[in-house]
Homo-oligomer: A and B are copies of this chain.
């Protein structure tokens, strides 16, 4: 699968796909005879994983660390699990915070008049 097809299928800029690969946020993608990227199923799984992580607010730096461990072989499995669980916890907290914010916002939207008083202000406007 060529980069532009991936880009369309996953709704992500091809520049971003190249960028992730360049910095090591996903492993090196397979190439065809012309040295064009040719994403196989495993490559697509990594793209999908990276997208999930980024959507969840995980930094690119973390992905780089994760892939770096991955490349070092199977003796890093525990370290990878630990990293994953750290992130799981952080994402959980973000999620919780967001839910709270969402509820606050929703409340404000539903009770608008009672909450946002008019601007009478401290700048002499009446």
Measured between C-beta atoms, what is the minimum distance from A112 to chain B in Å? 5
Query: A93-114 interface mask toward B, CB cutoff 8 Å, 1 = contact, 0 = none?
Result: 0110111111011101100110
Which residues of B lie under 8 Å from residue A85 when comparing CB positions?
A: 109
Determine if A34 is an interface residue (Cβ-Cβ < 8 Å): no
User: Are B123 and A28 in touch, CB under 8 angstroms?
Assistant: yes
Measured between C-beta atoms, what is the minimum distance from A57 to chain B in Å? 7
Determine if A91 is an interface residue (Cβ-Cβ < 8 Å): yes
> Given contacts A71-B119, A119-B73, are A81 and B109 in contact (CB under 8 A)?
yes
Determine if A70 is an interface residue (Cβ-Cβ < 8 Å): yes
Closest-by-CB residue of B relative to A29 is: B122
Q: How far is the CA of A8 from the CA of B55 in the complex (A)?
A: 30
**What is A's interface to B at a CB cutoff of 8 Å?**
27-28, 30, 42, 49, 52-53, 55-57, 70-74, 77, 80-81, 84-85, 87-88, 91-92, 94-95, 97-102, 104-106, 108-109, 112-113, 116-119, 121-123, 125
- 8 of the cross-chain contacts (CB-CB < 8 Å) are A52-B101, A56-B102, A70-B116, A71-B121, A73-B118, A87-B105, A92-B102, A95-B95
- 8 tightest Cβ-Cβ pairs between the two chains A and B: A56-B101, A52-B101, A74-B118, A55-B101, A84-B109, A55-B97, A52-B104, A91-B102
